[in-house]
Structure 1
Amino acid sequence: MATYDRRTATLALAHALSAAERGLPVIPLSRTKLPALRSPHRDAPEPFLCRGECGRPGHGVHDATADPAAVRALFAAAPWATGYGIACGRSPHHLIGIDLDTKSDTDATASLRHLALRHLFTIPETVVVLTPSGGRHIWLTGPPGVTVPNSASRLAPGIDIRGAGGYLVGPGSLTDHGIYRTAPGTGHLAPAPCPSALLRLLVPPARSHPRAGPSADGPGRGHGLVQFVRAAHEGQRNTRLFWAACRAYEDGIGDSLADALAEAAVHTGLTDREARATLASAARLTTAS
């Protein structure tokens, strides 16, 4: 390996270990910003669904770890790595990445500002990473039990969201287009909690068909929210419960509907403890000043 490449790999590992010390799960990335390790099942005759259960590396974001020894092992298996990715949605930070793209025709920064004015939230002081193309990654954290999905330009043109199952390129990573760097004055900050109004925009209800959602108003509002939660499938349960609970608390019926919502969530497969934790998160977020 060339001296320059060896130095680059050493720096990538050092940056990754620094992130891991902060509790951020990481994986090695190549210059293309893709996971550096190829799937161990790539030669399987048929599609092979594995998220690391086989115990071998090469499962992308599912390999992400904050354990220093495991991080070193991943980078040792990928000595060509020039950067690292940080898994979003994982404990303890439950990281959410707001990716403001400058390559689109729309000013993503202005779009985010308009959203903030319309929905009455402000982006707190937090970690901001500058991309080589001139974009920005804003780091926020979400509450446990709430799944923020990945999306591209759903929130607004030019704004992509990195949530559960996604990753952010870590500062210090070298890519084909340049180096990702922490914005001045933000490197010492911890990722800030996502504003409640923005979080509600990031976790819209997942509808299987147009009639799956609750009624918009009227005396059956509470019943509709409960039925909406009961109709959740695996992968939707926490998200639906959180969305319905936020609507209930915003309408002033959260406390009276909490037991029914919890019972509906338990019916879908959540434990009562999980359901109550999600309800508590919704109550806390919707009543925050």
Structure 2
Amino acid sequence: MAITDRQTATLALAHALSAAERGLPVIPLSPTKLPALRSPHHSEAEPVLCRGECGLAGHGVHDATTDPAGVRALFGAAPWATGYGIACGRPPHHLIGIDLDTKAPTDSVSALQHLALRHLFTIPETVTVLTPSGGRHLWLTGPPDVVVPNSASRLAPGIDVRGAGGYLVGPGSVSAHGAYRLAPGTADLSPAPCPRALLRLVAPPARSRHATRSRPPHGQGLVQFVLAAHEGQRNTRLFWAACRAYENGIGEDLANALTEAAVHAGLSEREARATIASADRLTTGRGR
């Protein structure tokens, strides 16, 4: 490893330890912004649903910890890490990340301001991280009894939400495209509470106690979309449908129905479940 790379890795660990001291659970990230440690189950024939129960590192956001010894151990196992991720939705902060992407077709900052005017809330002053592409991440805190899912452009084009099972790239991290840094004037701020009106937009309504895990009616269109797939588009359609399902909080409920539809369209069950697992990882940030 070159001297510059060693310095970057050392700084990444220092920033991660600082975040952990503030109660923010962290994991090491590679220059691609993905978890630096490979899944210990990557060579197994069938997809494995494990969130760290096996006791080994390599489960993405499920490895996140605030324990200094644990942080050092994770970075020690990934000396190539150049950044760190902060797990969202975890106590004590229950962090919610609002990711404003400047590469979207529309101005995501203006879109958020429009939502604020329409739904009568004020965007609070809070920790803001500037990304190498010119975007920004707003850090907000949520109540402990509300689970905020991850979503991509559901609120508006270019506005992604990072919640439970997701992570934010921490300030001081370096990716292949540049460094993440705190916006001027926000370094001394604490994450602000998420306005109630915004919380209602990013969190799904609570399920009824009598809700079942049968196929959600509003997921039927996604199932039909997969059923109608022709040869050459089966995996693509299944992946797209699974991403939409997980973004809308019905991925786990719809997984079996999507698998059945994909098998009916011509995929093997193994292929279908692997594709759905990939959509789960991409959309929710869950480690495997």
Question: Deviation at 1:3?
Answer: 1.0
Do residues 38 (structure 1) and 44 (structure 2) align?
no
Q: What amino acid is the match of 2:41?
A: H
**Residue number in structure 1 paired with 2:15:** 15
TM-score by length of 1: 0.72
Whole-Å separation in 1 of the counterparts to 2:175 and 2:140: 23
- Letter in structure 2 aligned against 1:71: V
- 1:141-185 Cα offsets, whole Å, 9 max, x none, are 000011000000101111000000000000000001100000001
- 1:151 aligns with 151
Name stretches of at least 5 consecutive residues in structure 1 with no aligned partner: 208-227, 235-289
Aligned equivalents of 1:206, 1:30: Cα separation in 2:
36
Equivalent residue of 2:115, what SS?
helix
**Residue in 2 aligned with 1:65?**
65
Aligned to 2:78: 78
Residue 280 of structure 1: aligned partner: none
Q: Which residue of 2 aligns with 1:230?
A: 210
Instruction: Give the structure-2-normalised TM-score.
Output: 0.72
Unpaired runs of 5+ residues, structure 2, are: 215-288
Measure how far apart 1:233 and its partner are. Answer: 5.3
Counting only pairs closer than 5 Å after superposition, residues 244-263 of structure 1 correspond to structure 2 as none
Detail structure 1 runs of 4+ shifted over 3 Å in the superposition: none
Larger-gyration structure (1/2):
1
2:160 maps to 160
1:5 Cα deviation (Å)?
A: 1.0
SS at match of 1:230: coil
Could you tell me how far apart the structure 1 residues matched to 2:212 and 2:64 are?
28
1:93-113 Cα shifts (integer Å, max 9, x gaps): 000000001011110000000
Residue 104 (str. 1) matches residue 84 (str. 2): no
Q: Which residue does the alignment assign to 2:189?
A: 189
Say which structure, 1 or 2, has more relative contact order (CA 8 Å, 6+ apart): 2
For residues 85-139 of structure 1, give each alpha carbon's deviation from its aligned partner in whole angstroms, at most 9, with x where no partner exists. Answer: 0000001000000000101111000000000001110111110000000001000
1:206: Cα distance to partner? 7.3
1:207-227: CA deviation from partner (whole Å, max 9, x where unpaired): 8xxxxxxxxxxxxxxxxxxxx
Task: Give the total of aligned pairs.
Answer: 214
Contact 2:148 2:204 in 1 (8 A): no
In 1, Cα distance between equivalents of 2:19 and 2:70:
13
User: Following the alignment from structure 2 to structure 1, what is the Cα–Cα distance between the partners of residues 180 and 103?
Assistant: 16
| Residue identity matched to 2:98 | I
**Sequence identity (%):** 79
1:237-260 per-residue CA deviation (whole Å, 9 max, x = no partner) reads: xxxxxxxxxxxxxxxxxxxxxxxx
